[in-house]
């Protein structure tokens, strides 16, 4: 192969190669382009800048802005200013979300929904991270991560399957109180504007003289209570495969655009801490409710949603809620899941958004609040999430599981009675409601293995023999078909 210069056409002016480039046709500016890419990457304008990782739990959601106004002064119970003056309006942001949905899922209607509220008070931001149901799955914070992993374990190919989560349920009897509510008509959410919200955990209100009260929060939808009782044709046969994953969010958006503003009664239940020691159940256990006949609802205010977000990414995706975002007069109780989440949520926001998440407009406080934290670099590692093993091939990440006994190293705290409150709830349902609950449960259990089905049926039998009989009969019919 001869010299390149000798092979150039005669009479054509010979060009000298520019410094730092290759003298090849079509590649004159290749080095310059590579240098430009390197500069963009290093400066963060091409990769990493503005990326917000998806939440592992309650990933898909919607949001709305609104106002909160007390209906009476709660000054005798708490020093929180936004609860003391009925003439004071406090701006709020509410995020609604699904629970364990993942790629390949169908927007499960039988999914716990998130209901988180951020109060922009004059004393700083106050966050309440709740659900659409008044109870939680587990009482032990160590089992929360395992619950999430069980819910995301499917049949492979990124598709969600019920076997993993029902394997977890069948080995965790404390989930019974939530399961019956989740698979009843209360668990079928079609419109976020008609969905109740509950704080689930127990909080502490502190008065001027330092007196403490245990408190539970409830955001009760006015629209839901004004609406006529649904007929069986409306609520029955509402299957996950037929559900539109975005239906609830779209209905909320249309309501706000049309001026039909959803309103919620903010109600509380109160208890003296001394009384908690003599109850037959642990009031700090998030798998339990406080009976209303003994701890009546007290109406404390009204929350009204009146505005859709203008930018979904900056106002909904970047919204960060933390249980330890508190104001004077409100504290966290010794509820173990609440104490665990105060650390987990902080770490999750740093990993998902970055150290600056509090300075983002949707999370920024309207008040001048002194932060005593130290500045530092991002604590999370920018590493890809490890792919979870396919169920049935390698042991699941959650425990306990169907493939191997993996008990926790310590006793679950609290006064353990996992069936009484679930049984009371089941007895309040009509015959038609019980039938729809059994159908919803059987439609998922039919995809699980025999050991999981039998274990769960035994738990249903301990709750109410009628429930076990209904589900078992439906499962036998589906297997024969």
Q: Which tokens belong to 407?
A: 């008990």
- For 374-417, what is each residue's pLDDT tens digit? 333 333 333 333 333 333 434 454 555 554 444 433 444 556 78
User: 363-390 burial string, b = 16+ CB within 10 Å, else e?
Assistant: bebeeeeeeeeeeeeeebeeeeeeeeee
Q: Which tokens belong to 431?
A: 């015959």
Cα angle 127, 90, 354 (rounded to 5 degrees) comes to 35
DSSP letters for 289-337: PPPTTTS--EEEEEEEEEE--S-HIIIIIT----TT---TTEEE-S-HH
User: How far is Cα 209 from Cα 211, in angstroms, rounded to an integer?
Assistant: 6
Phi, psi of 388, deg, nearest 5: -80, 145
User: How far is Cα 106 from Cα 280, in angstroms, rounded to an integer?
Assistant: 40
Q: Is 117 helix (H, G, I), strand (E, B) or coil?
A: strand
Do residues 325 and 345 lie in contact, with contact meaning Cβ atoms separated by under 8 Å?
Answer: no
Place of tokens 């007390």: 70
Do residues 110 and 354 lie in contact, with contact meaning Cβ atoms separated by under 8 Å?
Answer: no
* Predicted pLDDT of residue 59: 65
Reference 264, options 331, 228, 301, 219; nearest CA is 219
Cα angle 31, 33, 39 (rounded to 5 degrees) comes to 105
* Predicted pLDDT of residue 101: 53
User: How far is Cα 461 from Cα 429, in angstroms, rounded to an integer?
Assistant: 17
- For 279-326, what is each residue's pLDDT tens digit? 999 999 999 999 999 999 999 999 999 999 999 888 988 888 989 899
- For 162-177, what is each residue's pLDDT tens digit? 888 899 899 999 999 9
The conformation of residue 197, written as its DSSP 8-state character, comes to E
- For 197-221, what is each residue's pLDDT tens digit? 999 999 999 998 899 999 999 999 9
Cα angle 13, 17, 20 (rounded to 5 degrees) comes to 165
User: 409-446 burial string, b = 16+ CB within 10 Å, else e?
Assistant: eeebebeebbbebbeebbeebeeebbebbbbbbbbbbb
Cα angle 83, 85, 91 (rounded to 5 degrees) comes to 60
pLDDT tens-place values along the chain, 481 residues long: 445 445 445 544 555 544 444 444 445 566 666 666 665 554 443 344 456 666 666 667 899 999 999 999 999 999 999 999 999 999 999 999 876 654 334 444 478 899 999 999 999 999 999 999 999 999 998 888 778 777 665 545 455 568 888 998 999 999 999 999 999 988 888 889 999 999 999 999 999 889 999 999 999 999 988 875 555 445 444 444 345 668 889 999 999 999 999 999 999 999 999 999 899 999 999 999 999 999 999 999 999 999 999 998 889 888 889 898 999 999 999 999 999 888 887 877 777 888 888 888 898 887 755 444 433 333 333 333 333 333 343 445 455 555 444 443 344 455 678 999 999 999 999 999 999 999 999 999 998 989 999 999 999 999 999 999 999 999 998 765 4
* Predicted pLDDT of residue 10: 53
**What is the radius of gyration, based on Cα positions, of the chain?**
27
CA atoms within 13 A on the CB side of 394: 6
Q: Which tokens belong to 296?
A: 């009546």
What are the domain boundaries of the chain?
5-43, 61-359, 420-480
What architecture does CATH give domain 61-359? Beta Barrel (2.40)
Q: Which tokens belong to 461?
A: 């039998």
* Predicted pLDDT of residue 116: 94
Helix axes 465-480, 431-445, angle to 10 degrees: 50
User: How far is Cα 100 from Cα 149, in angstroms, rounded to an integer?
Assistant: 9
Q: Which residues contact 139 (CB under 8 A, 6 or more apart)?
A: 174, 285, 286, 287, 336, 337, 412, 413, 414
Do residues 331 and 204 lie in contact, with contact meaning Cβ atoms separated by under 8 Å?
Answer: yes
- Sort residue 163 into left (φ over 0), alpha (ψ -120 to 50) or beta: alpha
Counting beta carbons within 10 angstroms of the beta carbon of residue 462, is it exposed (0 to 12), middle (13 to 18) or buried (19 or more)? middle
Place of tokens 């959410």: 189
User: How far is Cα 91 from Cα 69, in angstroms, rounded to an integer?
Assistant: 9
* Predicted pLDDT of residue 172: 93
* Predicted pLDDT of residue 308: 96
């Amino acid at each position: 192969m001869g010299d390149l210069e000798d092979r150039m056409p005669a009479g054509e002016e010979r060009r000298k190669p520019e410094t730092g480039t290759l003298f090849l046709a079509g590649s004159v500016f290749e080095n310059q382009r590579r240098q430009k890419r390197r500069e963009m990457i290093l400066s963060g304008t091409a990769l990493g800048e503005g990326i917000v990782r998806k939440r592992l739990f309650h990933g898909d959601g919607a949001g709305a802005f609104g106002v909160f106004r007390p209906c009476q002064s709660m000054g005798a119970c708490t020093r929180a200013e936004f609860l003391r003056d009925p003439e004071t309006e406090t701006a709020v942001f509410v995020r609604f979300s699904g629970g364990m949905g993942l790629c390949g899922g169908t927007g499960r209607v039988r999914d716990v929904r998130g209901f988180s509220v951020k109060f922009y008070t004059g004393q700083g931001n106050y966050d309440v991270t709740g659900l659409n149901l008044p109870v939680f799955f587990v009482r032990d914070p160590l089992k929360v991560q395992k619950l999430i992993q069980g819910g995301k374990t499917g049949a492979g190919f990124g598709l969600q399957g019920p076997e993993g989560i029902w394997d977890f349920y069948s080995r965790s009897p404390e989930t019974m109180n939530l399961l019956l509510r989740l698979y009843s008509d209360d668990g079928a959410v079609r419109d976020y504007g008609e969905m109740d919200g509950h704080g689930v955990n127990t909080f502490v209100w502190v008065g001027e003289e330092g007196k403490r009260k245990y408190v539970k929060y409830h955001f009760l939808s006015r629209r839901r209570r004004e609406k006529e009782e649904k007929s069986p044709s409306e609520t029955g046969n509402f299957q996950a495969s037929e559900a539109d994953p975005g239906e609830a969010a779209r209905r909320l958006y249309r309501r706000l655009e049309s001026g039909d503003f959803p309103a919620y009664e903010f109600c509380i239940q109160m208890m003296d801490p001394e009384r908690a020691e003599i109850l037959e159940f642990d009031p700090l256990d998030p798998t339990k409710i406080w009976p209303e006949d003994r701890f009546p609802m007290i109406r404390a205010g009204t929350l009204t949603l009146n505005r859709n977000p203008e930018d979904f990414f900056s106002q909904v995706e970047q919204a960060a809620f933390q249980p330890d975002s508190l104001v004077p007069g409100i504290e966290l109780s010794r509820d173990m899941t609440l104490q665990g989440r105060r650390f987990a949520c902080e770490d999750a926001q740093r990993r998902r958004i970055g150290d600056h998440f509090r300075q983002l407009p949707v999370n920024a406080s309207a008040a001048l609040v002194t932060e005593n934290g130290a500045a530092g670099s991002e604590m999370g590692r920018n590493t890809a999430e490890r792919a979870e093993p396919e169920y049935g091939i390698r042991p699941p990440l959650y425990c306990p599981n169907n493939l191997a006994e993996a008990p926790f190293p310590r006793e679950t705290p609290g006064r353990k009675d996992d069936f009484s409150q679930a049984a009371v709830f089941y007895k309040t349902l009509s015959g038609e409601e019980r039938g729809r609950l059994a159908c919803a449960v059987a439609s998922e259990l039919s995809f699980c293995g025999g050991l999981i089905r039998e274990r769960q049926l035994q738990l249903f039998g301990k709750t109410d023999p009628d429930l076990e009989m209904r589900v078992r009969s439906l499962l036998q019919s589906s297997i024969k078909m």
